[in-house]
Structure 1
């Protein structure tokens, strides 16, 4: 699964998630800072709306696919954007973080503990 497909599916499964302008539509590569900002917003929203995510399992499958991706921009956006935003948002809520971290796949969990 490619970067734009993962990003598109995540935005569809996270209510309120901002869309990322796909580079393929303009012929330009996706800007890393824009990608990081969108993924940070998604991580924040996941932490905020964790209990109400309709397809939570799919969201965390997509996060893990991003961590397995051969695209270094996507891996960076998922790890330092999305995952770290979830950690930051749940900092004062350890019970919420335990719920969220229990859903992480092996590569995502390894990033946190690495």
Structure 2
């Protein structure tokens, strides 16, 4: 895990108790190794969706701005794990609930939403 990713995760965890707990649980589970980065980002994405309605708008805005910041990062590895771990987990976690997807998608930034829509439509004709 490079320093950009470590800093990104640390900042993400600072936005919410449930996100901090998710990161802590993943770290505990994989200790003494570090969690696989895509799996950790996937867990963060699932946690965001699971707790979306318990969050206030300010908390959601901070989280989704951070998601967008990751997508446009100068660090390609960070941008990739945000896309393939976090955003794809958000899309998958909302697949069975169109109202939740509609509400979540309102908070996605341009690059995040673009990737999410491509992933959502993947394999559909």
Q: Which residue matches 2:23?
A: 18
What is the distance in 2 between the residues matched to 1:58 and 1:6? 13
Q: TM-score, normalised by structure 1?
A: 0.80
How many corresponding residue pairs?
A: 103
TM-score normalised to the size of structure 2?
0.73
Q: Deviations over 1:52-91 (max 9, x none)?
A: 1251110001000000101111111111100111111111
1:64 to 64, 68, 89: 68
C-alpha separation between the residues in 1 aligned to 2:112 and 2:42? 15
1:96 matched residue in structure 2:
100
Q: Which has the higher helix share?
A: 2
RMSD of aligned alpha carbons: 1.9
Moved more, 74-83 or 10-19: 10-19
